[in-house]
């Protein structure tokens, strides 16, 4: 290999590893994010309507398995309409947090497969203002 080619390759590898992001799973955030999971996975003996099968219990499952399964639903590698719809909206951090909560713990640091791009969120038209009445006023 020519020295110039080697230097270019080394610089490219260094730049890509500098952009690598790490994810620290947070089980408490995962508890909040996994709230809807219990609607199906938290009911003992629950069966799916179509196709008919027993809904698996996920609490206590292995962390790595949960990360892989959720990532596969997100990418479409695993085909289940409901889980695909749930997985599409999950970020790498969401997946790590949910897996940490469901597994009851997680590795201290997990490398992110790809950096997640932040996006701005704007208030919806007609968003509540400080002088708006509360949706559930206190009873007197």
Q: Quick check: is 135 in a domain?
A: no
Closest CA to 57 of 66, 93, 49: 66
pLDDT in tens, 87-130: 999 999 999 999 999 999 655 555 555 555 666 666 555 555 55
Whether the full predicted model's pTM is greater than 0.85, yes or no, is no
Task: Give 22's strand partners.
Answer: 111
* Of 8-12, 35-39, 65-69, the least confident: 8-12
pLDDT tier, 140 (very low <50, low <70, confident <90, very high otherwise): low
pLDDT in tens, 15-64: 444 445 789 999 999 999 999 898 888 888 777 776 677 888 899 999 99
Q: What is the pLDDT of residue 54?
A: 81
Structural domain including 62 reads 21-111
Please give the average per-residue pLDDT across 56-80, as a whole number: 93
Q: Quick check: is 86 in a domain?
A: yes
Distances (CA, A) of 89 to 22, 73, 86, 127, 137: 20, 10, 6, 23, 33
Number of domains in the chain: 1
More confident residue, 132 or 60: 60
Q: Quick check: is 15 in a domain?
A: no
Q: Quick check: is 60 in a domain?
A: yes
**CATH code: domain of residue 52:** 1.10.760.10
Q: Quick check: is 14 in a domain?
A: no
Q: Quick check: is 126 in a domain?
A: no
């Amino acid at each position: 290999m020519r020295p110039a080619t080697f230097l270019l390759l080394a610089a490219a590898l260094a730049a890509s590893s500098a952009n690598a992001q790490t994810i620290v799973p947070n089980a408490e955030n995962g508890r909040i994010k996994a709230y809807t999971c219990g609607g199906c996975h938290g009911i003992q003996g629950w069966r799916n309507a179509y196709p008919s099968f027993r809904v698996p219990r996920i609490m206590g499952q292995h962390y790595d398995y949960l990360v892989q399964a959720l990532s596969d639903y997100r990418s479409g590698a695993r085909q289940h309409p409901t889980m695909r719809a749930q997985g599409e909206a999950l970020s790498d951090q969401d997946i790590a947090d949910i897996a940490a909560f469901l597994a009851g713990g997680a590795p201290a640091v997990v490398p992110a497969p790809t950096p997640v791009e932040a996006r701005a969120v704007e208030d919806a038209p007609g968003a509540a203002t400080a002088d708006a009445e509360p949706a559930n006023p206190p009873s007197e």
